[in-house]
Structure 1
Amino acid sequence: MKLETERLMLHSLTEEDWPLFLQLYRDPQVIRYLADPLDEAEIHARFAGRLPAWNKHSQHWLCLVMREKASGAALGLTGLRAEWLPFQQAEVGFASLPVGQGKGYGKESLRKLVDFAFHACGFHKLNATVTEGNIASRRLLESCGFQLEGTLRDNFRLAGQWCNDWQLGLLANEYAVAKK
């Protein structure tokens, strides 16, 4: 699968993207709110789980590599995990290398992903779960129309500590109105 924005090419994760995936999961700044440090075998298992062909009925993540058009440099990943039945929903997620952060690439790629999810796939709602304190991710989601729906208390464990999660959502009809 390939999607394109003004500055980015988004393409399905392939075996050749293993170095990027490993780099993201090894960078403490990137995984700070995503996961505790994992060994290479655990990271590779996550990687392998994102390689199969994807459709909206799949149980695994659609994982798209963000590449800058001008340089071809890989900047990070974006994607979604479908929960088609019974309510036509999907969870969105993203991770960017530090070199790609703060330049609007995340917003550009998320907008394209949201458009794809609603228009090409027909999802009713997109969800995002953000570890409380990850202000940059929350602001990115809100800038694309996601609304805070609540806080899930002690929902995730990082570094041996229970963390709250913010739950955000975007409905297809809200997105359609915002695009007008």
Structure 2
Amino acid sequence: MEASGTKIKLKQLTESDWPIFKELYTNPRTMKHVYNPFDEDVAWTVFNCRLKPWDINSDGWLSFSINELSTKATLGLIGLKITNHTAKIAEVGFMLLENARGKGIASEALTILVKFAFTELGLNKLIAMCSTENSGSYNLLEKRGFIREGCLAQNSFINNQYVDDYIYGLCKSTLNSQTP
């Protein structure tokens, strides 16, 4: 799958995306609110899992690189993982290089992914989790129409401490009712 917006193109993850994957997942600043940073071997294992063929019945992540149209530079990653096949619910996640943040790139990527999830995949709901300390992510989710559904106390263990996470949801019916 490939889909373009005004600034970016999403392309399904390929072996050529290893450098961006490694850079994001091993960077302590990028991973600060996500997980403990991976070492290169763990990053490689996770990356290879993301390369496996995917279909609507898969349990793994469908991952995309986020590529700038003007420069062709890869700026980050975004993806989804179906968490409930019967209810058609998927979790979404995204990460950007530090120098790509604050420029509308993640917003556009999330908009493209949401449209793909609801129209092409026929999903009913998308969810996202992020640390209560990650204002960049939760502000983006809220801007794109996701509703904060709760707070999960001590839901993650990052850098030797328990972290609270917000849980967000976006239902297809809610999104459709917001569209003029």
Fold shared by both chains (TM-score > 0.5):
yes
The list of structure 1 runs, each at least 4 consecutive aligned residues, that deviate by more than 3 angstroms after superposition, is none
Matches within 5 A, 1:153-168: 153-168=153-168
1:148 paired residue number: 148
- CA apart distance, 1:84: 4.3
* CA–CA separation in structure 2 for the residues paired with 1:81 and 1:179: 25
Larger deviation, residues 106-115 vs 52-61: 52-61
Aligned to 2:115: 115
**Aligned pair 1:22/2:14, yes or no?**
no
What is the percent sequence identity of the aligned residues? 36
Match of 1:126 in 2: 126
Q: Any conservation in 2 of the 1:54–1:62 contact (CA below 8 Å)?
A: yes
Q: Which moved more, 1:79-88 or 1:12-21?
A: 79-88
Q: Corresponding residue for 1:92?
A: 92
Letter in 2 for 1:60: G
Alignment partners' CA distance in 2, 1:159 and 1:29: 11
TM-score normalised by L of structure 2: 0.97
The 1-side partners of 2:133 and 2:99 are apart by 21
SS at match of 1:49: helix
Mapped partners of 1:178, 1:113: distance in 2: 17
SS for the counterpart of 1:10 is strand
Please report how far the alpha carbon of residue 70 of structure 1 lies from its aligned counterpart in structure 2 after TM superposition.
0.3
Q: Which residue of 2 aligns with 1:42?
A: 42
Mean CA deviation greater in 136-145 or 46-55: 46-55
Normalized against structure 1, the TM-score is what? 0.97
Count of matched residue pairs: 180
Amino acid aligned to 1:103? K
Q: Residue 67 of structure 1 contacts residue 76 of structure 1 at CA under 8 Å; is this kept in 2?
A: yes
Shift of 1:177: 1.6
Amino acid at match of 2:9: M
Output the amino acid matched with 2:135.
Answer: I
Structure 2 gap segments, 5+ residues each: none
5+ residue gaps, structure 1, are none
2-side partners of 1:170 and 1:39: how far apart? 33
Deviation at residue 39 of structure 1 after TM alignment: 1.3
User: Separation in 2 of the partners of 1:104 and 1:4?
Assistant: 14
Deviation at residue 23 of structure 1 after TM alignment: 0.6
Root mean square deviation, CA, Å = 0.9
Could you tell me whether the CA contact under 8 Å between 2:81 and 2:91 is conserved in 1? yes
Instruction: Judge conservation of contact 2:28–2:36 (CA < 8 Å) in 1.
Output: no
**Structure 1 counterpart of 2:70:** 70
Give me the whole-angstrom Cα distance separating, in 2, the residues matched to 1:27 and 1:44: 14
Q: What displacement does 1:38 show?
A: 1.8
